[in-house]
C-alpha cells in the first residue's frame, strides 16, 4: 500500500462554490472582460501588451482560421465538482445551462456539413463541460461521431467515473475507441485535493485504475488515456515534455498507473481562476508573466484556428475560452443549426488579453503545448 504523502501543499486555488451560486460580480462575463481590458501591462522585448498588435508582429494582422480539425461541443455546465481553477464556473448548481436534444442533433448535422465540404480536415469531436458525462445526450453524441468514423475525446474529471450511474463508462468508452482526456492537477494528493476538494485524488486514482483495467493507457491508439495537468498557482504551465517524464515515472512508481501522454495547460484568467487571482492581488502579476513569456511562434498553432467551439445553447465561438467570456465568433450565423462551413472558414478570430495564456512559452491549447 502506498504510504500517505506528507509533501507541502502548493499555494493555489482551493475548492469553492460557483460564482453563479454566490451571486458574485464576476459571474457576469462582461465584468470579466472589463477587468482584463482594464489592465495596464508593461510592454518589453518587442511585446506591446496589446494582443492584436503582438499577433500582428508575428505576421497575423488578422488571425485567420486554418482548416477545421476539431469540433468541440460544450454540452453543459453541470458538474459533480466545483474546482477553484475552473474557467467555465461549472458545478452541481448549474442545472439550467445544459444542451437539449435538438441542439445535440444540430451539432451532428453541422458535423455532417463539414465532412461533406471540399477538402474536409475534420477528424475529431471533442466533448467537454462541466462533466460532459452528465449530459443525457453524451452517449448519443459519442455514438453519432463514432458512426461517422471520427475520433472522439471525452474531457473527463475522473471522479464522475466513480459514481454509480457512470461506472459502466470506462468499458463503454473503450469499446468505442474514445480517448479519455482526464484532468488531474498533480500526482501528489495534497496539491490535487487543495484545488479540487478533499478526497478527489483518491477517487481520481480509483477511476484511473478502472480505465487501466479496460485497456486504457497501454499504448493502444483506440484506448488513449491522456492526463491533463494545470499549474496549482499563479504561473504558466511548465515544459510539457519534462513534466511527462516525471509524471510517467511517479504515477507508475507510486500508484501502478500507466497513461499514454500528458498535456500541460496554462490556467486561463477567466471565471473562478480570475476570481482567485483578483482576490489574491495576483492578476496583474500573472498577466504580466504571460505577456513576458509571449511566443510569436505559438500564434500559428492556437486552437481557435483549427477548432470550433459550440456552446450548450448552440451558439458559436472560436474557442472554449472565448465561449466562457461570451465573445461570439465573427460569423453571421450565430447558431450551430445554421452553421455554414465556408462562412466559418472565411471569418477572422476574435482575440483579447486572455489570449496571452495560449501563447506563453511553448503555447497552450486543449491539446497541450503548441511549439
For cell 489570449, the residue is 355
Are 223 and 177 spatial neighbours (Cβ–Cβ below 8 Å)? yes
Q: Mark out the alpha helices in the chain (DSSP H runs).
A: 19-22, 29-37, 51-57, 101-116, 138-147, 169-175, 189-196, 200-213, 240-255, 271-279, 283-292, 320-324, 341-346
Q: What pLDDT is attached to residue 11?
A: 39
Q: What pLDDT is attached to residue 7?
A: 27
Distance, in Å, from the CA atom of 184 to the CA atom of 268, rounded to the nearest integer, reads 16
SS3 197: coil
Q: What pLDDT is attached to residue 15?
A: 58
Domain covering 25-357 in this structure, CATH number? 3.20.20
Q: What pLDDT is attached to residue 8?
A: 30
What secondary structure letter does DSSP report for 215?
A: T
All cell numbers assigned to 251: 504515477
Q: Is 300 exposed, middle or buried (0-12, 13-18, 19+ CB in 10 A)?
A: middle
For cell 490556467, the residue is 267
Query: pLDDT (tens digit, 0 to 9) for every residue of the chain, 371 residues total?
Result: 333 322 233 334 445 789 999 999 999 999 999 999 999 898 877 788 999 999 998 899 999 999 999 999 999 999 999 988 899 999 999 999 999 999 999 999 999 999 999 999 999 999 999 999 999 999 999 999 999 999 999 999 999 999 999 999 999 999 999 999 999 989 999 888 888 888 999 999 999 999 999 999 999 999 999 999 988 788 888 889 999 999 999 999 999 999 999 999 999 999 999 999 999 999 999 999 999 999 999 999 999 999 999 999 999 999 999 999 999 999 998 999 999 999 999 999 999 999 999 999 999 888 888 88
Give this prediction's pTM. Answer: 0.94
Distance, in Å, from the CA atom of 175 to the CA atom of 32, rounded to the nearest integer, reads 41
Task: Locate the domains of the chain by residue range.
Answer: 25-357
Neighbouring CB atoms inside 10 A of 226's CB total 20
DSSP letter for each residue of 71-109: EEEE-BSB-S---TT-SS--BTT--SSB--HHHHHHHHH
Q: What region, left, alpha or beta, does residue 317 occupy, with left being phi > 0 and alpha being psi -120 to 50 degrees? A: beta
Amino acid at each position: 500500500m502506498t504510504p500517505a504523502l506528507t509533501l507541502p501543499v502548493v499555494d493555489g486555488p482551493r475548492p469553492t462554490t460557483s460564482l453563479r451560486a454566490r451571486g458574485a460580480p464576476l459571474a457576469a462575463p462582461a465584468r470579466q472582460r472589463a477587468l482584463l481590458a482594464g489592465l495596464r501591462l508593461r510592454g518589453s522585448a518587442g511585446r506591446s501588451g496589446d494582443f492584436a498588435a503582438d499577433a500582428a508582429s508575428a505576421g497575423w494582422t488578422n488571425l485567420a482560421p486554418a482548416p477545421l480539425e476539431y469540433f468541440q461541443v460544450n454540452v453543459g455546465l453541470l458538474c459533480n465538482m466545483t474546482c477553484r481553477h475552473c474557467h467555465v464556473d461549472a458545478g452541481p448548481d448549474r442545472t439550467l445551462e445544459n444542451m437539449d436534444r435538438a441542439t445535440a442533433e444540430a451539432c451532428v448535422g453541422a458535423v455532417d456539413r463539414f465532412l461533406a465540404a471540399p477538402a474536409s480536415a475534420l477528424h475529431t469531436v471533442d466533448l467537454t463541460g462541466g462533466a460532459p458525462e452528465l449530459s443525457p445526450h453524451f452517449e448519443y453524441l459519442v455514438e453519432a461521431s463514432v458512426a461517422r468514423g471520427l475520433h472522439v475525446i471525452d474531457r473527463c474529471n475522473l471522479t464522475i467515473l466513480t459514481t454509480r450511474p457512470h461506472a459502466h463508462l470506462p468499458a463503454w468508452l473503450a469499446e468505442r475507441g474514445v480517448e479519455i482526456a482526464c484532468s488531474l492537477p498533480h500526482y501528489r494528493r495534497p496539491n490535487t485535493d487543495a484545488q479540487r476538494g478533499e478526497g478527489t485524488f483518491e477517487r481520481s486514482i480509483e477511476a484511473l485504475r478502472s480505465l487501466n483495467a479496460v485497456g486504457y493507457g497501454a499504448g493502444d491508439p483506440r484506448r488513449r488515456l491522456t492526463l491533463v495537468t494545470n499549474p496549482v498557482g499563479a504561473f504558466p504551465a511548465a515544459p510539457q515534455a519534462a513534466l511527462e517524464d516525471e509524471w510517467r515515472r511517479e504515477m507508475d512508481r507510486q500508484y501502478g498507473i500507466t497513461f499514454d501522454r500528458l498535456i500541460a495547460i496554462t490556467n486561463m484568467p477567466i471565471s473562478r481562476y480570475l476570481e482567485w487571482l483578483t482576490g489574491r492581488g495576483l492578476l496583474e502579476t500573472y498577466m504580466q508573466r504571460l505577456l513576458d513569456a509571449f511566443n510569436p511562434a505559438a500564434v500559428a498553432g492556437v486552437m481557435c484556428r483549427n477548432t470550433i467551439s459550440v456552446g450548450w445553447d448552440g451558439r458559436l465561438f472560436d474557442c472554449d475560452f472565448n465561449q466562457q467570456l461570451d465573445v461570439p465568433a465573427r460569423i453571421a450565423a450565430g447558431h450551430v443549426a445554421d452553421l455554414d462551413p465556408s462562412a466559418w472558414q472565411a471569418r477572422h478570430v476574435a482575440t483579447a488579453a486572455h489570449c496571452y495564456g495560449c501563447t506563453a512559452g511553448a503555447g497552450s491549447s486543449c491539446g497541450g503545448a503548441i511549439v
